[in-house]
């Protein structure tokens, strides 16, 4: 096609040159205005020239259109983004029309925003956004009609975008009947664009619109695929862990990757008090907890995202729904309002995140059943064996020490036989509560079996462990467990306060309220009223301690020696703490 057009252009140019030679010959012959028979031929020649000139212009226009369409097609084929497409099209139009500058505005929400500019610096742009109907750009979009303006300074609709602009072509960019934006070609000379330029740009604007729309569709499809792939990868990350804290951290990390946030907090509703929210993970400067009010309360009650505009930006509370119930809240603070696309991304993350949190809770419960003692809540004997192995490896690697305490409640069988197993169970719980309040965070309690407990004290020698266990022994032995005789009074339990225990105020207070057990025991255990009157007792513990260094990091010897030391405490009168030494006499 291009070759044919080129050949036609060459032929036309030859005809034009031939005609010019004929004119020159007429002048040289001084034919003047006399009417000769050749005049008719000259007149026919002029008509032919006009036709040829017309054809030549059409060919140039067609060539220009083909050039632009070719460039556009090439840009679409090779484009890395829609921005590259816009920049390529605009640069070609500016070059082909000899315009001083070119601008492309596209509709975004309710405004026409500058998306591409050519042959002008960004600093020279005085206006980059137009409302629909505002200026020549907004008017063109509103009316859907192009404008050829010889001098924009004389048009009352004109709002200056680039200084010293005179002539301007303003064309709506259409795809069929839908207007996508506005194309502007400007010149700093009056009447610099002709009708042919206007018609040409107006003609190909539809092709430009189609190219832009296709590019948008391609970009959207590519972005959707990227988002789907991203969500797939994020879902894999979320579901890769069974730890509640880790899952929450991954969830927060994902949200901050998807959108720009000031802060982000993930909280789980308390099982006992649903108005209380336990923060599991957070990001950003705002380290405050979540309160059951405002958007959080709305999201919880209505089971959908709640939004609030504030002085600092926007707050979004997204419920974490589990089988129609709200298990938690994802709270997000942003500077800008979230777009529909961003909300869809967040919603796409919430479902796998909630499922992962559910699985983490389930795993935690299963793990608890497998590793915890059902009565006291401390770790069980099986977990003690595994955990002790881990601790020994760690302290041996660090060339450090570790102590272990074996605790046995003295005469526990007597309490069970006298007051029943429910009372015995409660005593076990209270002993654990006392030990927890005294021990350090790094110390770990285990129920070894029956009325026996073990404690691992990392990075602690036997002497320091002895000091800690003496304190626990004294607090327990000084406290009186008492059952009173006022059946009609309300049953209540006095909770142990950690600081109170540490300050040894046990001597002046009762662990059990005098009326606490009377009604409960008579109903649940079946003891007679006479047996409940004035029953007061103390409990004591016998403790044995061994150190890992003393047994050359041998696990079995560590346990055996702690047990020996505990037995020594019992045989020596009970209510004692014994530290194992090689010379310890068990006879």
- DSSP assignment of 214-233 equals HHHHHHHHHHHHHHHHHHHH
Strand partners, 173: 181
Burial class (CB in 10 A: 0-12, 13-18, 19+), 460: buried
- The residues, ordered by sequence, that sit 6+ positions from 121 with a Cβ below 8 Å of its Cβ are none
Pair 448, 582: CB distance under 8 Å: no
Residue 151 has pLDDT above 80, yes or no: yes
Reported CATH class of domain 381-579: alpha beta
Measured CA to CA, the distance from residue 401 to residue 558 in angstroms comes to 12
318/194: higher pLDDT: 318
- What is the signed CA dihedral for 224, 228, 230, 232, rounded to 10 degrees? 180
The mean per-residue pLDDT over the stretch 523-536 comes to 40
* Superfamily holding 99-220: GAF domain (3.30.450.40)
pLDDT attached to residue 58: 73
Q: Where are the domains of the chain?
A: 2-63, 99-220, 244-363, 381-579
The mean per-residue pLDDT over the stretch 61-79 comes to 65
Residue 235 — φ and ψ, nearest 5°? -60, -40
Kind of pairing between the strands at 402-409 and 325-334: unpaired
Residue 82 has pLDDT above 60, yes or no: yes
Measured CA to CA, the distance from residue 91 to residue 74 in angstroms comes to 13
Specify the range with the lowest mean pLDDT, choosing from 85-94, 117-126, 260-269, 485-494: 485-494
The mean per-residue pLDDT over the stretch 70-91 comes to 74
Helix or strand holding residue 406 (H, E)? strand 402-409
95 — pLDDT class (breaks 50, 70, 90): confident
158/18: higher pLDDT: 158
CA nearest neighbour of 329 among 375, 256, 278: 278
pLDDT attached to residue 133: 94
Residue 509 has pLDDT above 90, yes or no: no
pTM to 2 decimals? Answer: 0.49
pLDDT attached to residue 50: 74
Instruction: Give Cα separations from 132 to 13, 113, 141, 159 (angstroms).
Output: 47, 11, 7, 13
- The residues, ordered by sequence, that sit 6+ positions from 432 with a Cβ below 8 Å of its Cβ are 376, 377, 378, 445, 453
**pLDDT tens digit sequence for 276-330:** 888 989 998 765 678 888 999 899 988 999 999 999 899 999 999 987 688 999 9
Return the beta strands (E) in 119-186 as ranges. Answer: 129-131, 147-149, 168-175, 178-186
pLDDT attached to residue 74: 67
pLDDT attached to residue 421: 85
Instruction: Give Cα separations from 429 to 329, 365, 412, 422 (angstroms).
Output: 34, 20, 13, 11
Residue 507 has pLDDT above 80, yes or no: no
578 — pLDDT class (breaks 50, 70, 90): very high
Domain at 244-363: CATH architecture = 2-Layer Sandwich (3.30)
What is the residue-averaged pLDDT of the chain? 80
Measured CA to CA, the distance from residue 65 to residue 204 in angstroms comes to 7
Q: Do domains 244-363 and 381-579 have the same CATH topology?
A: no
Instruction: Give Cα separations from 543 to 199, 272, 351, 567 (angstroms).
Output: 101, 36, 51, 8
Residue 273 has pLDDT above 60, yes or no: yes
Q: What is the chain's length? A: 587
pLDDT attached to residue 287: 59
Reading the block at residue 421, the tokens are 């197993």
The mean per-residue pLDDT over the stretch 115-125 comes to 93
Residue 517 has pLDDT above 50, yes or no: no
pLDDT attached to residue 152: 94
531 — pLDDT class (breaks 50, 70, 90): very low
The mean per-residue pLDDT over the stretch 322-351 comes to 88
The mean per-residue pLDDT over the stretch 144-157 comes to 94
Pair 272, 282: CB distance under 8 Å: no
Residue 449 has pLDDT above 80, yes or no: yes
CA nearest neighbour of 179 among 204, 157, 210, 201: 210
pLDDT attached to residue 369: 78
The mean per-residue pLDDT over the stretch 510-530 comes to 35
77 — pLDDT class (breaks 50, 70, 90): low
Highest mean pLDDT among 170-179, 322-331, 518-527: 170-179
Measured CA to CA, the distance from residue 433 to residue 430 in angstroms comes to 5
Helices (H) and strands (E) in the chain, counts: 16, 18
Measured CA to CA, the distance from residue 578 to residue 546 in angstroms comes to 9
Highest mean pLDDT among 467-481, 490-504, 519-533: 467-481
Highest mean pLDDT among 16-30, 52-66, 469-483: 469-483
Measured CA to CA, the distance from residue 284 to residue 261 in angstroms comes to 8
- For residue 183, count other CB atoms closer than 10 A to its CB: 27
**pLDDT tens digit sequence for 3-53:** 445 445 545 555 555 555 555 555 554 544 444 445 545 555 667 677 777
Percent pLDDT > 70 in the chain is 78
Measured CA to CA, the distance from residue 537 to residue 539 in angstroms comes to 7
């Amino acid at each position: 096609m291009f070759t044919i057009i080129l050949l036609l252009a060459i032929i036309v140019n030859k005809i034009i040159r031939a005609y010019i030679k004929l004119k020159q010959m007429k002048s040289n012959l001084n034919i003047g205005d006399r009417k000769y028979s050749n005049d008719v031929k000259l007149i026919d020649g002029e008509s032919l020239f006009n036709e040829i000139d017309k054809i030549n212009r059409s060919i140039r226009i067609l060539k220009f259109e083909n050039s632009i369409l070719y460039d556009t097609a090439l840009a679409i084929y090779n484009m890395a983004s829609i921005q590259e497409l816009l920049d390529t099209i605009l640069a070609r139009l500016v070059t082909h029309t000899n315009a001083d500058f070119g601008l492309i505005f596209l509709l975004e929400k309710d405004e026409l925003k500058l998306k591409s500019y050519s042959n002008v610096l960004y600093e020279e742009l005085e206006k980059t956004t137009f409302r629909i109907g505002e200026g020549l750009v907004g008017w063109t979009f509103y009316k859907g009609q192009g404008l050829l303006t010889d001098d924009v300074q004389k048009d009352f609709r004109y709002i200056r975008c680039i200084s010293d602009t005179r002539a301007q072509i303003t064309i709506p960019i259409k795809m069929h009947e839908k207007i996508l934006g506005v194309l502007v070609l400007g010149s700093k000379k009056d009447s610099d664009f002709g009708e042919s330029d206007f018609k040409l740009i107006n003609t190909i604007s539809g092709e430009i619109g189609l190219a832009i729309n296709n590019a948008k569709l391609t970009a959207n499809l590519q972005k959707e695929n990227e988002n789907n792939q991203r969500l797939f990868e994020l879902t894999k990350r979320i579901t890769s862990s069974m730890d509640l804290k880790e899952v929450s951290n991954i969830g927060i990390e994902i949200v901050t990757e998807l959108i720009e946030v000031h802060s982000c907090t993930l909280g789980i509703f308390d099982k006992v008090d649903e108005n209380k929210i336990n923060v599991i993970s957070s990001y950003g400067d705002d380290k405050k907890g979540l309160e059951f009010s405002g958007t959080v309360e709305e999201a919880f009650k209505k089971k959908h995202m709640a939004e609030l505009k504030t002085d600092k930006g926007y707050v979004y509370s997204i419920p974490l729904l589990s089988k129609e119930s709200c298990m938690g809240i994802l709270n997000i603070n942003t500077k800008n309002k979230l777009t529909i696309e961003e909300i869809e991304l967040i919603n796409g993350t919430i479902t796998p995140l909630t499922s992962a949190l559910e699985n983490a809770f389930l795993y935690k419960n299963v793990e608890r059943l497998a590793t915890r003692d059902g009565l006291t809540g401390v770790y069980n004997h099986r977990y003690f064996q595994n955990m002790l192995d881990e601790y020994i490896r760690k302290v041996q690697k660090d060339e450090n020490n570790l102590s272990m305490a074996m605790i046995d409640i003295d005469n526990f069988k007597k309490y069970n036989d006298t007051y029943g197993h429910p009372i015995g169970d409660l005593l076990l719980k209270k002993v654990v509560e006392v030990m927890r309040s005294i021990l350090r965070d790094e110390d770990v309690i285990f129920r070894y079996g029956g009325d026996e407990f073990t404690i691992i004290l990392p990075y602690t020698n036997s002497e320091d462990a002895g000091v800690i266990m003496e304190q626990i022994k004294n607090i327990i032995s000084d406290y009186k467990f008492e059952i009173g005789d006022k059946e009609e009074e309300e049953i209540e339990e006095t909770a142990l306060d950690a600081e109170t225990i540490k300050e040894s105020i046990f001597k002046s207070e009762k662990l059990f309220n005098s009326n606490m057990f009377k009604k409960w025991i008579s109903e649940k255990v079946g003891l007679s009223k006479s047996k409940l009157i004035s029953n007061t007792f103390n409990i004591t513990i016998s403790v044995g301690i061994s150190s890992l260094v003393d047994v050359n990091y041998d696990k079995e010897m560590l346990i055996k020696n702690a047990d020996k030391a505990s037995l020594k405490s019992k045989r020596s009168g009970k209510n004692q703490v014994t530290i194992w030494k090689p010379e310890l006499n068990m006879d």
